[in-house]
Structure 1
Amino acid sequence: MTGSAPGYGTGLLFVMLATVGWSLAGVFVRFLPGLDGWQINCWRGFWMSVFLLAYLVFVYGPATLEKFLAIPLPALIATAGFFTAGSTLYVTSLTLTGTATVSVIGALSPIFAGLLSPWITGERPSLASWAAALMALVGVGVIAWDGVSAGNLLSLIVCLGVPASFAAQTVALRRYRDFDMVPAICVGGFFTFAVAGVMGFIFGGHPGGGFEVSVQQMLLLALMGPLQLSIPLVFYAKGARYVPAVTLAMIVMLDVVLNPFWAWLGAGEVPSQSAYAGGTVIVVAVLLSIFGDRWLSTRRLQAA
């Protein structure tokens, strides 16, 4: 699929809107200083799924259950499972190594998507897509260089699971793009609620596990779930119908640029020089992924 495919522009818009929503995570977490990742993931996943379920009932009415049953079982398990795995591994990785290391390794998601696409979706990433993915990885590395720590083998394996899970979820959405995959993501949110809640007992050391939050915190999480996850995921699932997997994962890399921007806008935190330099590289990489194939095709036609 290239930039000239029908619906490509609409798909790009949906994915960009999803990325903007996801980039608000840091803003919400700033207002939840008393909670750890297990508690946030637990209730964020719950309220995400509650909102998605309400959205599905609003859109499909009595046919909502049919939309769940219409999704092939492998697609449902893959999408829900990889969503839960990615969320859980992300929180776990933050307990094992630094945030910068997690960010750099997380930038491998376009690479994983490119490797999986030919086998699962039949899409073969172009040279421009591979170049853009590598460029984005360099950009994230520039931003996080000062905070990167070597870590141990276990932390490396756990961190690698984060981009691998996201890439697998992305190609699953592409593979089954003829179905509305929002119900599968809804199931994944409820799975995440259960898994993160139990993990809170084991790793969080809370008497109530990941389920333990105050009423005030619950209200904020009830807002975070829909705004930062549900609505972006609806956009992402719709965008996945029209945009190749590698480009999907590439656009999401803009989250690394947007997160510091919101911190600067809302809290006056001035980004470092490395953030400016790395952010510029990432933006160029995303543009290359979006328009590179079209440019190369035009060049070939002109040469012919």
Structure 2
Amino acid sequence: MRLTHGAAVWLMVAVTLMWGTAGVVTRHLTQAHSFEVTFWRSFFTMLALLVILPVWRGPAVFAQIRHGGRALWISGACWTVMFTAFMVALTLASTASVLVTLSLGPLFTALAARFFIGHRLPARTWIAILVAGLGIAWMYGSRLAGGAGGDWLLGTLVALCVPIAGATNWTVVQHAHAQGNEVDLVPAVLIGAVLSTLVTLPLSLPFQASTRDLGLLAFLGVFQLAIPCVLSVLCARVLKAPEVALLALLEVIFGIALAWIGAGEQPALSVLTGGALVIGALVFNELLALRARRTPAPDEVLPGAH
């Protein structure tokens, strides 16, 4: 399936809207908590992908998993960390704090490219990293000075695992690509869902989720994660890396707005201020990067699903 550029842009907007539903849906859970939330979302994601992938890619997709090599399984482990840490963070900290922390992903990836692959970073990226760092420091400092609880701090620290794992994933995929070994992201996402399900199962017992909770978590597994994961892979084949990074930032806006409107979760002023610095730095960096591109071909980019 090959998308036009315009269709890919609008589809990526829809993807970010689906990603952005995680916070508001999680706030309406009544009995499921912590690792059980992660388990059920990953479980339903796994079931959905086991149906979607053979239909989309054919039964050969499972052979790719068996013969994918070490890089594929490391990528799958990175997806496991992202899937797990994101939901655990949401049960501990506010949606806005978690999403602002996750938005650091492109800058962490840039740093990983600099120190592990040797990519030279332009001055604009170093400036963006500095400004984003100031934004995060302001958010953390203001929240802690204002008496934010230990759960909030733990939640945001857990959320940091997501962009770190994402940067690691990108580095592994790029290293494999340089050695002539292409990592297929689609089976890697399935591996991540399976491993997340297995890892969180013993931590989730005894189950406490109500029937309503299971319905909401099934929605998250299918429509917030599985389907947008597949769609984002399609978009990443058409759009340039800066375009994907810019559009992915809409998740922060959608996620905060949906949690505010749909669950009454008003973000703290310090989070909005720090988040504005982070988002502004990212937009500045990616717009300049997009302007500097002269080739029409899409860049190597990993979707930011979590």
What TM-score, normalized to structure 1?
0.71
Q: Deviations over 1:262-301 (max 9, x none)?
A: 1233346555554554454344333223221244679xxx
Of 163, 185, 188, the match for 2:189? 185
Structure-2 change in CA distance of 1:252 and 1:199 (3 Å): farther
Partner Cα distance (1:238, 1:289) in 2: 24
Of 75, 79, 90, the match for 2:75? 79
Give the AA of the match of 2:70. P
Gaps of 5+ in 2: 295-306
* 1:229 alignment partner in structure 2: 225
- Percent identity over the alignment is 28
Partner Cα distance (2:176, 2:12) in 1: 17
Structure-2 change in CA distance of 1:159 and 1:225 (3 Å): closer
Matches within 5 A, 1:17-28: 17-28=14-25
Partner Cα distance (1:287, 1:277) in 2: 15
What TM-score, normalized to structure 2?
0.71
Partner Cα distance (2:107, 2:219) in 1: 33
Matches within 5 A, 1:215-294: 215-241=211-237, 252-267=248-263, 271=267, 273-274=269-270, 277-294=273-290
Partner Cα distance (1:91, 1:270) in 2: 19
* 2:302 alignment partner in structure 1: none
User: Residue 17 of structure 1 contacts residue 235 of structure 1 at CA under 8 Å; is this kept in 2?
Assistant: no
Is 1:56 matched up with 2:60?
Answer: no
Give the AA of the match of 2:38. N
Partner Cα distance (1:176, 1:12) in 2: 28
* 1:197 alignment partner in structure 2: 201
User: Residue 116 of structure 1 contacts residue 168 of structure 1 at CA under 8 Å; is this kept in 2?
Assistant: yes
User: Residue 120 of structure 1 contacts residue 172 of structure 1 at CA under 8 Å; is this kept in 2?
Assistant: no
Give the AA of the match of 2:280. V
Moved more, 230-239 or 220-229: 230-239
Partner Cα distance (2:281, 2:170) in 1: 19
Partner Cα distance (1:124, 1:244) in 2: 19
Computed over aligned residues only, the root mean square deviation of the Cα atoms, in angstroms, reads 4.1
User: Residue 45 of structure 1 contacts residue 225 of structure 1 at CA under 8 Å; is this kept in 2?
Assistant: yes
Partner Cα distance (1:94, 1:182) in 2: 25
User: Residue 24 of structure 2 contacts residue 263 of structure 2 at CA under 8 Å; is this kept in 1?
Assistant: no
Offset, 1:44 = 0.4
Partner Cα distance (2:287, 2:122) in 1: 12
* 1:163 alignment partner in structure 2: 163
Structure-2 change in CA distance of 1:164 and 1:77 (3 Å): same
Partner Cα distance (1:11, 1:127) in 2: 30
Moved more, 228-237 or 276-285: 276-285
